[in-house]
Structure 1
Amino acid sequence: MARVCNEGFDKEAIKHQRDFYSIAYTQNIVSGRWKFLILWYLKENTRRFHEIKLFLNNISQGSLTKQLRELEQDGVIERVVYPEVPPRVEYSLSPKGKALLPMLELMRAFGDQFGEQVE
């Protein structure tokens, strides 16, 4: 099994277990309690921080900030700050983030099929 070190993935693991690396790479990007839901919420529209916070009403401001920063660092979302007072910040999916949408759609379909039905 490939080992992940502080600097990233072991080079030999990438070379000899590419399929494992690919799955682990994707998992590292989307791991986090709220990331899937943030991506799903951004799939059609650019959103402001407050809108995302309202959508995920149980998330703390600190957790949301952390998740958004990680998604931005991984190149999955884009953050635009407008030079206004107070500053306006908007988030949207990057092309890399849009490439994750088919996976999210499969997750939605799985949940539709096997998740609890609410009446």
Structure 2
Amino acid sequence: MVDFLEVTDRFRIMSKLSEEEIAQYTEMIRLCTEEIEKKLKPGVCWEEHCPLLQQLAAATAYYRYIVMTNMTTGSINALDLTVTMDNTKQIQAAKRLKDELTVMAKGLLRDDVFLFGMM
């Protein structure tokens, strides 16, 4: 059985959000956890591979959180000072983490969208 609190705690560590801030993302974390659970190959027991699968669920939620909260890019100009906001590297890093964990778990998951051949 999935330890949802453990997945949430791993997400909290990745996102550096407070307990209060995480409350608004619990549904997304739950959906990501269910997504990983549904992708398990028949006969694969969550409990046997718990740390990896929890980390993958948390990384999937973290990637979605990063994408959702970093949709804005652009520049602010004030006199001769320009501040540019580009979140591309943060999004890429979150995706890389999720992809690396997905590759590590590929023997446990069904490949419904032919992802593993591309990684």
TMscore range, shorter length? under 0.3
More helix by proportion, 1 or 2? 2
TM-score (norm 1): 0.27
Q: Which has the higher contact order (CA 8 A, sep 6+)?
A: 2
